Structure formats: C-alpha cells, structure tokens
Amino acid sequence: MKLRRVSGVAIKAFLALVLLGHGATAATSSSGPKLPQLDLTTYPSQVFWLVISFVVLYFLVAKLAMPRIAEVLEERQERIEDDLDKAETLKKEAYQVRIEYEKALSAAREKAQDATRHAQEEIAKRSAEAESAAQVKVTVMLEEAEKRIAASKTGAEGTSGDPVSSLERSVAQEVVANAVQKLIGVDVTAADIDAAIAATLEERPQ
C-alpha cells in the first residue's frame, strides 16, 4: 500500500516535472510563468480568503457541528452501557432462577424416587401377605378335601353300588370347583368334575 502510494506519487511528480519543464520552456519563448500556481499576484487573495474560510469553518464545526455529534454519540454510548448493565443483571437473575429450578428439580426427583420405592415395598409386602394367606387357605382346603376323600373312601368300602353318595358327590363337586377357581382361575362345571371323578375312580385299583 505504502509502496504503491510512493510509486504513484513518483509518477505524478515526474509528470508534473515534465509539465513544469514544458511550462518553463514555453515561458522562455513567450512571456511570464506558464504555471498559474506560480503567479505571485494571486497569493494575497488566496491566503486572505483561505484564512477567512478556514476560521469561519473552524467556528461552525467547533461550536455548531461537533457538540451535536458528541451529544448523539454520548447518548448512544450511555444507552448501550445501560442496556449492557440491564443485560448483566438479567443474566444474573436468570442464573439464580436456573439454580433454584435445578434445586427444585432434584428435590422433586428424590421425592419421586422415595415414593416409587415406598410403593414397591408396599406392593411386595401386600403380595407376600396375600400369597401366604392363599397358601394357608389352600393347605386347609386340601387337608379338608383329603379328609373327606379318606372318609368317603372308608364309607364307600362299606356300601355297595355307587361308591360315592350323592351328598358326597355334590360336596366334592363344590370343593373342587372352588379350589380350581382359586388355584388356576378356571370355572369348571359339575359335569367336568363328574367326569374327572369317574376317571379317578376308574384308575383306582379295586
């Protein structure tokens, strides 16, 4: 950039010198200096009007233009600083809010975990209770059923014909239906049970 400027000036200076030389040779052939800038008679007027123009411009710029520009720039600067301050406080506030939010979030998460754990424990406890109760019931029923079967066996050995009385049959039907319903959750009809009992009796060695 600097080099280019220098070379540009050099070219121009050369051109100016050529022209000046031309002016000088022309001046020797004709009369007076050819280059108007060297005409001394114009100097007082130019300097006079230069001083007036410059002084007038100085006062116009210094007293009229510059205070206004400075005022506008200062106003803008203040506004920017103000806005930056505001942004800073808002940022701090937002940070605070975020921290609080995170605290609340972690507390809620803990609470939720607690609740889940409690619920799981409760579920496990209740299901264990229910299971043991069902176990007890089933054992009792089985024992009863076995007793009845034993009783009916002894009874059946004594009687002839139908090995199972109708009363016994109906009681057995009821017990089995109940037990099956409780154990595997299937509804069985009386006919099914009859068939099952008949099959069992058939298999039994006489």
Partner 1 sequence: MASPVDQFKLKTLVPFEVGGVDLAYTTSSLWMTITVVAVTLFLTLSMRGGRLVPGRWQSLAEMSYEFIANMIRENVGTEGRKYFPFIFTLFMFILMGNLLGMIPYSYTFTSQIVVTFAIAITIFLGVTVIGIVLHGFHFFTLFVPPGMPVVLAPLLIPIEVISYFVRPVSLSVRLFANMMAGHTMMKVFAGFTAALGILGIAPILLLVALTGFEIMVAVLQAYVFTVLTCLYLNDAIHLH
The answer for residues whose C-beta is within 8 angstroms of residue 61's C-beta and 6 or more apart is: none
Residues, the chain, total?
206
Q: How far is the CB of 102 from partner 1 (least distance, A)?
A: 38
Q: Please give the Cα distance from 147 to 163 (Å, whole number).
A: 16
Residue 172: closest CA among 156, 190, 184, 154: 190
Q: How far is the CB of 107 from partner 1 (least distance, A)?
A: 46
Q: Are 123 and 153 in contact (CB under 8 A)?
A: no
Strands (E), the chain: none
Q: Which is nearer to partner 1, 13 or 99 (CB)?
A: 13
Instruction: Give the N- to C-terminal CA distance of the chain in Å, as an integer.
Output: 126
Q: Which stretches of the chain bind partner 1, using CB under 8 A? A: 5, 8-9, 12-13, 15-16, 19, 23, 26, 34-39, 41-51, 53-54, 56-58, 60-62, 64-66, 68-73, 75-76, 79
Q: Which is nearer to partner 1, 79 or 111 (CB)?
A: 79
Q: How far is the CB of 63 from partner 1 (least distance, A)?
A: 9
Q: How far is the CB of 89 from partner 1 (least distance, A)?
A: 21
Calculate helix-pair angle for 166-184, 190-203, nearest 10 degrees: 110
Q: Which is nearer to partner 1, 55 or 142 (CB)?
A: 55
Q: Which is nearer to partner 1, 39 or 174 (CB)?
A: 39
